[in-house]
Amino acid sequence: MAKRILTIFGTRPEAIKLFPLVHALEADARFDSRVCVSGQHRGMLDQVLDISGVVPDHDLDLMQPDQSLDQLTARLLTGLGAVMDAERPDWVVVQGDTATAMAGAMAAYYRKIPVAHVEAGLRSGNIYHPWPEEVNRKIIGSIAALHCAPTQTSRAALLAENVDPTSVHVTGNTVIDALHWITARIAAEPALSSGLAPLEARFAGKRIIGVTTHRRENFGEGMAQIAQAIRTLTARSDVAVIFPVHLNPNVRAVMDEALVGIDNLAMIEPLDYPHFARLLTIADLMLTDSGGVQEEAPALGKPVLVMRETTERPEGVAAGTAKLVGTDAARIVAEATRLLDDPAAYAAMAQAHNPFGDGHSAQRICDLLAL
C-alpha cells in the first residue's frame, strides 16, 4: 500500500525547498502525498504555491500581524496536531528551522509518527544566532527518525550529537533542485521573470547590488546599520541597489524610515521566486542575512556578503563565494567596496560552486522515505 506522507510547511523558504519534494512524491506511486501549510507566512508563501503549482490539502491560515513566537507556536501545535489526527500519515516531513517545522515535529512526536527532517544538521553553535532557528533545529534533530543532511558537514554535526548514524543521509539541499526547476521554467517562459525590466533599464550601466534582510537577531541596531550601509553604497554613481523588502513589519518600519529619497535604490515588494532568480542573475553581488540566498548565490557564482556574525552554512564560506561581514555599517561598506573596486578580489569570489547539492535531492529523499 502507498505510504501516506504529510509534508508540512508555512514560510517562503520552506515552500521553496519543499516544492521539489512534493512534486516528486506526487509523481511516485509508492506515495500518497498530502500537504499541510500552516500559513505562518501568507503573501510570501502564496507566491511560491502559485509558481510551483502545489495545492495544499490543509491550510491553517495562522498568520497574524507581527505574531509573537509563543502565540504562533501554541496555535501551530494544536492546528498541526488536528491535521495529523485526521490524516494519520506514515511519515511527517518538515524542513529547516522555522516555528512551523519545529511545531510540526513536536506534534508528530506526541502521536509517535516518524519525522523526516529535510535540511538536517545545520548548526551555528550559538542558540541566539540565528534566533530562534538554532534551537528549533536541535529540537527537530532530537525527534527525527530520518535526517536528510544537505552536506557532509551537516552530517558530521549530527553525529557529534550522537544521532544514530544509520538515520543520517547526505542528500544535498533541495534548494538546488528548486533553483534548477525555476531556471528551466524561466528559460521556457521568459515572461515569468520579465517584471524587473523597467528597473534593469533604469539602472543600466551600474553595478547591481541585491539586498535581503529579515533575521530577528538583526532587529533594531543591526537593521539600522544595514540601512546606513545601503545609504553609503548608493552614494556611488556607479552602483544601484535592488532591495525586495521582507514583509515583517520590524524590517519594513526601519527601512521605510531610513531609506527615503535615494535615486540609486529600488526598495520593492518581495519578489516571487522567478523574479528573485532573475535578481540573482543580474546582481554583481548580494548583501544578505538569508539562509537560502547563501545557498543559491554560490550555485550561480555570485559573491555573497553575509550580514551575520555566524553561519550554519560554512560551505559557501569554505568555497570562497560567501564571506561573513556582520552588521557593522563601515565593515559592510568596506567589504562591498573592495569587491566593486578590486577586480581580482571580485573574480576570486565570483566562482560557481555547488557545495549544497546537485539538483537531485528530492529524489534521494523519496527513495529514503520508501524504504
Q: How far apart, in Å, are the Cα atoms of 336 and each of 211, 241, 339?
A: 12, 12, 5
- Residue 16 interacts, among ligand UDP, ligand UD1, none and using kind-specific CB cut-offs from 5 to 8 Å, with ligand UDP
Closest CB 82 distance from ligand UDP, rounded Å = 26
Looking at the Cβ atoms of 156 and 267, the one nearer to ligand UDP is 267
Distance from the Cα of residue 364 to its chain's centroid: 20
Contact 147, 120 (CB under 8 A): yes
Residue 320 beta carbon to ligand UD1: minimum distance, rounded to whole angstroms: 25
Q: Which does 292 bind (CB under 5 to 8 A by kind): ligand UD1, ligand UDP, none?
A: ligand UDP
Asked whether position 137 contacts ligand UD1 by CB under 6 A, the answer is no
Tell me the C-alpha distance between 224 and 242, whole Å.
17
| Distance in angstroms (rounded) separating the CA atoms of residues 45 and 60 | 12
Window 56 to 95, contacts with ligand UD1 (CB under 6 A): 63-67, 69, 72
Is 214 tagged catalytic?
A: yes
Active site residue 217: no
Residue 135 is given by DSSP the state H
Active-site residue, selected from the candidate residues 216, 252, 338, 360: 216
> Which of 14, 28, 87, 119 is labelled catalytic?
119
- Among the options 215, 246, 308, 364, which is catalytic? 246
Instruction: Tell me the CA distances in angstroms from 144 to 94, 95, 291, 292, one per residue in order.
Output: 9, 11, 21, 22
Residues 6 or more apart whose Cβ sits within 8 Å of residue 273:
16, 47, 48, 51, 52, 178, 182
Verify whether residue 129 is a known catalytic residue: no
* Active site (annotated) includes residue 119: yes
195-224 positions binding ligand UDP, by CB under 6 A: 212, 214
- Select from ligand UD1, ligand UDP, none the partner in contact with residue 132, using the beta carbon and a kind-dependent cut-off of 5 to 8 Å: ligand UD1
Cα–Cα distance measured from residue 279 to residue 243, given in angstroms and rounded to the nearest whole number: 10
Instruction: Compute how many residues bind ligand UD1; rule: CB under 6 A.
Output: 24
- Out of 8, 12, 234, 279, name the contact with ligand UD1 by CB under 6 A: 12
Which residues in 191-230 contact ligand UD1 (CB under 6 A)? 214
CA distance 325 to 345: 15
| Three-state secondary structure readout of 297-348 | HHHCCCCEEECCCCCCCHHHHHHCCEEECCCCHHHHHHHHHHHHHCHHHHHH
Site for ligand UDP in 262-281 (CB under 6 A): 270-271, 273, 276
Gap between the Cα atoms of 127 and 105, Å rounded: 19
Please state the closest distance from residue 119 (CB atom) to ligand UD1, in A.
12
Partner whose footprint covers residue 54, from ligand UDP, ligand UD1, none (CB < 5 to 8 Å by kind) = none
Known active-site residue 97: yes
Cα gap 166→351, rounded to integer Å:
35
Taking CB under 6 A as the rule, which mask of x and - marks residues 4-33 in contact with ligand UDP? --------xx--x-----------------
Residue 343 amino acid letter: P
CB of 291 to ligand UDP, least distance (A): 4
H-run or E-run covering 74: helix 69-87
Tell me if residue 246 is catalytic.
yes
Query: For binding to ligand UD1 (CB under 6 A), which residues are involved?
Result: 11-13, 40-44, 63-67, 69, 72, 97-99, 132-133, 214, 247-249
Query: For binding to ligand UDP (CB under 6 A), which residues are involved?
Result: 12-13, 16, 212, 214, 244, 270-271, 273, 276, 290-293, 296
Q: Which residues are catalytic?
A: 97, 119, 133, 214, 216, 246
